[in-house]
A and B are shown apart, each in its own frame.
Chain A
Amino acid sequence: MLKIIALTVATVGLAAFTTVHAQTAPAAAPPNDAQIAQIVLTADSVDVNYGKLAAKKTKNAEVKAFAETMIRDHTAVNDKAAALAKKINLTPEASDTSKSLKSDSDKMMAKLKGMHGAEFDKAYVDNEVAYHTSVIGALNTVLMPNARNAELKALLESGKPIFESHLEHAKTLQKSLNK
């Protein structure tokens, strides 16, 4: 489990500019604005999907509240990103990073679907801690430094404190589940 999480972190964080993964053989160039927009949209909708699954499956009120916040906030960020893309005439473009985000999350979703009760809660929250850590890492090292459009950059910057508060929230939850 931890290995999968670690791999996810490494892939999301580094795939954009290094060849850490066998599948991304040629070195990926830094993402352009269209690719950054798609990475943001994918990253957000991946977490909305985790949240929807958790809100449906969990019996824990705190986990449910957290999952609902993930749905609410990542939907809000996605709406803002989609509106901005339209405003600045940017057509989001798939990249290796956005594709691996999606395929990794499909695998994780399949795993989570097979779990129940406390086991599910713990796996979901652990994944949220790892996922938000990797997204914040990607924001800092790949997305924000490469964004060219000022408004896109500003949106990424305003997303950072949101994801950081989610990470803090998830870590608090993780502690209470491990008691």
Chain B
Amino acid sequence: MRDPSATLDPHPKSVPWKPDFGPAGLVPMSPPMLQRDRQGLDYGEQHVQKLHAAVQREKGDGRVTIKPFPLWILVVCGFVFFLAGFFSGRHGADFTATNVDRGNPPAVQSTLQAVQTGAAPASAAQSTVRDANAPLVVHVAMKNMKFSPATIEIKKGDTVEWKNDDITPHTATSATFDSGSIASDAAWRHTFTEAGNFPYTCTFHPVMKGTIIVK
């Protein structure tokens, strides 16, 4: 029986490249080439493993040792991939190219928030069963006298949170919603239940303009 972990890493660090193939009379090549050539010459995986082991014995090492990744690293990687998948699945169609081009950080925040506001985010396993259509909180910054991003696309039921990062007070005001004065560092939320385009402005600073597109 072959060590199952050997398949994870057929070329452990402890085995140098050249001695492996020197005795076999192969011309030294770059590692990826060697691997392909080996297959071409019908060098079975087990042959190579035996060769590794033989070399190690000669060098006085007990056996070929291959360290798998610690479990926590695998868990963390899995969670990162889950988040990445969740992000692209949820927002791939939601955010327009313009927002993506601007490197829209609120989109990432909103994804995290959506995960965090899950019923009981006690473990990663629970998060994985969350409905991809669950309402989101999408963030819009009021910064340097601008709404950023100025235009966002959301789904019915999503909430927009405006956060005032400026020194001066602002408002987010349209025909259908009005935040009133939002002080510096304060925030205000509005949930959109109807589809449509909602252009809005800051009543204090008419030069500030934004649009919420609800699908």
- Listed in ascending order, the chain A residues whose CB lies under 8 Å from chain B are 65, 68-69, 72-73, 76-77, 80, 158-159, 161-162, 164-165, 168-169, 172
Cβ contacts under 8 Å, A162 to chain B: 145, 166-168
Are A65 and B203 closer than 8 Å at their CB atoms?
A: yes
Tell me, in angstroms, the Cα distance from A69 to B169 when the chains sit together. 9
Instruction: Please name all residues of chain B whose beta carbon is closer than 8 Å to the beta carbon of A69 when the two chains form the complex.
Output: 204-205
Asked whether, in the complex, the Cβ of A165 is within 8 Å of the Cβ of B184, the reply is no
Mask of B175-198 contacts with A, CB within 8 angstroms, 1/0: 000000000100000000000000
B206 on interface, CB distance cutoff 8 Å: yes
Q: Which residues of B contact A (CB under 8 A)?
A: 144-146, 166-169, 184, 203-208
A168 to B202, CA, bound (A): 14
Is B169 a contact partner of A72 (Cβ separation < 8 A)? yes
Most buried by B among A65, A159, A161, A164: A161
B205 touching A158 by the CB < 8 A rule?
no
Q: How far, in angstroms, from A168 to B209 measured CA to CA in the complex?
A: 13
Determine whether the beta carbon of A172 is less than 8 Å from that of B206. yes
Q: CA separation between A172 and B169, bound complex, in Å?
A: 21
Of the residues B145, B169, B203, B206, contact of A161 by C-beta under 8 Å: B145
User: Given A76-B184, A164-B145, are A169 and B169 also a contact pair (CB < 8 Å)?
Assistant: no
Contact A169 B144 (CB under 8 A): no
Beyond contacts A162-B145, A169-B207: 18 other A-B pairs, Cβ-Cβ < 8 A, are A65-B203, A68-B204, A69-B204, A73-B204, A76-B168, A76-B169, A76-B184, A77-B167, A80-B167, A158-B144, A158-B167, A161-B145, A161-B146, A165-B145, A165-B207, A165-B208, A169-B206, A172-B207
User: Whole-angstrom distance from the CB of A48 to the nearest CB of chain B?
Assistant: 13
Contacts of B206 in A (CB 8 A): 169, 172
For B203, list chain A residues within 8 Å (CB). 65
A67 to chain B, nearest CB (A): 12
A167 to B, closest residue via Cβ: B207
- Cα of A55 to Cα of B169 in the assembled complex, Å: 18
A65 to B208, CA, bound (A): 15
B208 cross-chain contacts in A, Cβ below 8 A = 165
A80–B145 Cα distance when bound, in Å, is: 17
Do the beta carbons of B205 and A161 come within 8 Å of each other? no
Q: Which residue of B lies closest to A81 (CB)?
A: B167
- A73–B169 Cα gap in the complex (Å)? 7
| Closest Cβ neighbor of A166 among chain B residues | B205
- The residue of chain B having its C-beta at the shortest distance from the C-beta of A74 within the complex is B168
CB–CB A161/B144 < 8 A = yes
Alpha-carbon distance A73/B183, docked complex (angstroms): 11
Complex interface: chain B residues within 8 A of A165 (CB): 145, 205, 207-208
Q: Which of A68, A72, A164, A169 contacts B168, CB < 8 Å? A: A72
By a CB distance below 8 angstroms, the chain B residues around A158 are 144, 166-167
A72 touches B207 (CB 8 A): no
Chain A residues whose C-beta falls within 8 Å of the C-beta of B146 in the assembled complex: 161
A72 & B204 in contact (Cβ 8 Å cutoff): yes
- Cα(A69)–Cα(B207), bound, Å: 12
Complex Cα distance, B142 from A73, in Å, reads 14
Does B167 lie within 8 Å of A169, measured CB to CB?
Answer: no
A76 to B184, CA, bound (A): 9
> Which of B146, B166, B203 has the most A CB atoms < 10 Å from its CB?
B166
A164 to B: closest C-beta gap in Å: 7
Closest to B165 in A: A158
A-B contact pairs, 10 of them (CB 8 A): A72-B168, A73-B167, A76-B167, A77-B167, A162-B145, A162-B167, A165-B145, A165-B205, A169-B206, A169-B207
Query: Given the complex of chains A and B, what is the CA–CA distance between A118 and B145 in angstroms?
Result: 29
| Ranked 6 nearest A-B pairs via Cβ | A165-B145, A161-B144, A73-B168, A161-B145, A76-B168, A69-B204
